Every structure is written in C-alpha cells, then in structure tokens.
C-alpha cells in the first residue's frame, strides 16, 4: 500500500510541467523560511538559556541537536541564529539591490560622463578583495548588525548594476522611448514610466539570488570576529565557538548549525533560480 502511494505521488509529480514544478519549489522553500522566521522571532530567551546540568549532551529525543558546553539547546540556538541571519540577509539584499537599480539606471540614462564614472566605480569595487572590504566596512561602522548590513549593502550591488544598465540600454532603443523623447518627455519621466517597470523582474530575481551571498558573508565575518557580538545566537557565532570543541568529539556543535545554514541558502537559491525560469519567456510556459 505504501509503495503504491509513493508511486502514485511520483507519477503525479512527473505530470507537472516546468512552471508547476517551479511554483511547487517556491512554495516549499518560502514555507521553510517562514517557519524559521516565525519560530525564531517569537522564541523565548529561556529556551536557549544556560543550563549546566545538561552541558555537552549529544543529540537525543530531548535535545535533537544536542547541547553545548554551557548546556544551551543547540536546536533553539540554531533556529534563532537562522532567523537573525534571515532578517539581516533580506534587509541587506534589498538595500543593495535598490542601490544597484539607482546606479544602473544612472549609467544608462544620464549621459556618457555619468556612465563612465559609475563604470569606473563598479570596476573599483569589483577589483577589491571582497572579504577584506567587508571586514573593513564592518569595523568602520562599529561592527554588530549595522556593520554587517552596511558592509553587505555596499559590496554586493556591482553585478546587478551592470545587468540593469545593459537592460536599460537595450530598452532605450525601442521606438516608444524614441517617440517619447521627441515629444519632449523628460529623462526622469521616461525612466519612471517607461523603463523602471521593465526591470522589476531583474530586481526581484537579483534580491533573491543576492540573499545567499549576504547570509554567507554575514556568517563568515561573524565567524572571524568582525560581525555580530558573541552573546548573539547567530550562526557565525555558533560555528566560531564550536571550533574549540570539535577536537574533543563534540561534532554536533558545528554539524547541525552548518547543515541548517546550508539548507536555508539552498532554499533561497532554489527560489531565485526558479523565479528566473518563470520570468524567462523561453522557459516560463514549458
């Protein structure tokens, strides 16, 4: 009976077209991320508090992810850390992509001098070592949440800016844009009414695809000690602290938080690539 049910589900799945499969992936990924956000956002601090009576316990039914050297439950710490990373990643990605749209639009609309200046600025940012630049910005802005947000927002806009610029340059040659210019319509009005609506799909996909980079860099610089403070239950903090105890056999301190971070990154990456399939005219109707 169970085998027949599984075969029926596989058969139903194979009948779905690309668009339906894509929407299914998006729904599952969004549901997973919402569970993390809601669970972590409304979590009581006592649930991941110190309890020395159960310290360094391996995974069990009571503590699924085990406990650390202070008796803190690793499952609740991991969920709280993921929710923190999720908020930071979304905000930083949105700010960075808004910045990319402004820069890309300015390059394509406001003449060759502005275009050359911003292309030089993009090349300058892309030519710098990424992680070092992130660490420097984080230090200059006081580290912590604000340091990470500013660092990620100021270092992840370059690629999307080039994409937006290329898209707008292709749109500028369309007949309706040429007619609008001949009728005396200002550049700002042309940009807001005729160009920006066409780059909304690139903006949405850009935000979603930028998110994995944002949270991985947040975890990375926090792991190095230049991000969130040690008392914050963030994934970077958890992984950094666990390095001191792996050699003692407490493998679960790094394994489960690292696996959870990887799953969240894959979930957002799946959303981004699947959205790209839907938006793309060549694959959207398959």
CATH of the domain at 264: 1.10.3720.10
Q: Any residues with CB less than 8 A from the CB of 254 and at least 6 apart, and which?
A: 238, 239, 242, 243, 246
Please name which of 159, 256, 137 lies closest in space to residue 213, comparing C-alpha atoms: 159
Which residues are 73's β-sheet partners? 67
Has residue 11 got a pLDDT over 60?
A: no
Give the torsion sign (CA, 147, 149, 150, 154).
positive
Task: Quote the number of domains for the chain.
Answer: 1
- State mean pLDDT over 117-146: 82
Q: Residue 10 has what pLDDT?
A: 52
Answer for the pair 214, 86: CB distance below 8 angstroms, yes or no.
no
The answer to which of 84-88, 135-139, 230-234, 242-246 has the lowest mean pLDDT is: 230-234
What is the DSSP secondary structure assignment for residue 73, as one 8-state letter?
A: B
In a domain, 59, yes or no: no
Categorize the per-residue pLDDT at 204 as very low, low, confident or very high, splitting at 50, 70 and 90.
confident
Has residue 14 got a pLDDT over 70?
A: no
In a domain, 267, yes or no: yes
- State mean pLDDT over 9-34: 70
Please name which of 270, 230, 261, 262 lies closest in space to residue 82, comparing C-alpha atoms: 261
> Within the chain, what is the greatest distance between any pair of CA atoms?
78
Has residue 282 got a pLDDT over 70?
A: no
In a domain, 122, yes or no: yes
In a domain, 60, yes or no: no
- State mean pLDDT over 22-51: 81
231-274 pLDDT per residue, tens = 777 777 888 888 888 778 888 888 888 888 888 778 777 777 77
- In a 3-state reduction of DSSP, which class is residue 215? helix
- State mean pLDDT over 67-96: 85
Answer for the pair 264, 215: CB distance below 8 angstroms, yes or no.
yes
What is the DSSP secondary structure assignment for residue 195, as one 8-state letter?
A: I
Q: Residue 200 has what pLDDT?
A: 80
Categorize the per-residue pLDDT at 280 as very low, low, confident or very high, splitting at 50, 70 and 90.
low
Answer for the pair 175, 77: CB distance below 8 angstroms, yes or no.
no
Q: What percentage of residues in the chain have a pLDDT greater than 70?
A: 90
Alpha-carbon distance of 83 to 38, in angstroms, equals 8
Has residue 53 got a pLDDT over 60?
A: yes
183-202 pLDDT per residue, tens = 877 777 777 777 777 788 77
166-183 pLDDT per residue, tens = 888 888 777 877 787 788
- State mean pLDDT over 106-132: 81
In a domain, 48, yes or no: no
Question: Range of 33's domain?
Answer: 19-39+69-277
In a domain, 282, yes or no: no
Residue 247 has a CB neighbour count (10 Å cut-off) of: 8
Q: Residue 15 has what pLDDT?
A: 62
In a domain, 262, yes or no: yes
Categorize the per-residue pLDDT at 110 as very low, low, confident or very high, splitting at 50, 70 and 90.
confident
Has residue 130 got a pLDDT over 80?
A: no
H or E element in which residue 220 lies: helix 200-223
Categorize the per-residue pLDDT at 3 as very low, low, confident or very high, splitting at 50, 70 and 90.
low
In a domain, 187, yes or no: yes
For residues 109 and 217, the model is more confident at 217
Burial class (CB within 10 angstroms; exposed 0-12, middle 13-18, buried 19+) of 219: buried
Over the chain, what is the mean pLDDT? 79
Q: Residue 286 has what pLDDT?
A: 52
């Amino acid at each position: 009976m169970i085998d027949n049910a599984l075969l029926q589900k596989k058969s139903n799945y194979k009948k779905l077209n690309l668009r339906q499969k894509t929407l299914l992936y998006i729904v599952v990924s969004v549901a997973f991320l919402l569970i993390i956000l809601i669970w972590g956002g409304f979590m009581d601090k006592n649930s991941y508090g110190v309890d020395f009576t159960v310290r360094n316990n391996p995974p069990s039914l009571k503590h699924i992810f085990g406990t650390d050297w202070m008796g803190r439950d690793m499952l609740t710490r991991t969920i709280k850390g993921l929710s923190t990373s999720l908020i930071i990643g979304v905000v930083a990605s949105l700010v960075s992509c808004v910045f990319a749209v402004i820069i890309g639009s300015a390059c394509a609309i406001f003449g060759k001098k502005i275009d050359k200046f911003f292309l030089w600025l993009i090349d300058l940012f892309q030519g710098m070592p990424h992680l070092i630049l992130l660490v420097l910005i984080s230090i200059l802005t006081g580290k912590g949440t604000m340091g990470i947000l500013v660092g990620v927002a100021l270092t992840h806009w370059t690629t999307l800016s080039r994409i937006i610029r290329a898209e707008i340059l292709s749109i500028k040659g369309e007949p309706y844009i040429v007619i609008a210019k001949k009728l005396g319509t200002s550049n700002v009005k042309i940009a807001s009414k005729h160009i920006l609506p066409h780059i909304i799909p690139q903006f949405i996909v850009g935000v979603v695809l930028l998110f994995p980079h944002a949270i991985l860099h947040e975890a990375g610089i926090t792991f190095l000690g230049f991000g969130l403070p040690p008392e914050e239950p963030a994934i970077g903090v958890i992984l950094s602290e666990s390095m001191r105890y792996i050699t003692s056999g407490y493998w679960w301190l790094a394994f489960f938080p690292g696996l959870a971070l990887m799953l969240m990154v894959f979930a957002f990456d799946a959303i981004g690539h699947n959205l790209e399939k839907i938006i793309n005219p060549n694959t959207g109707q398959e």
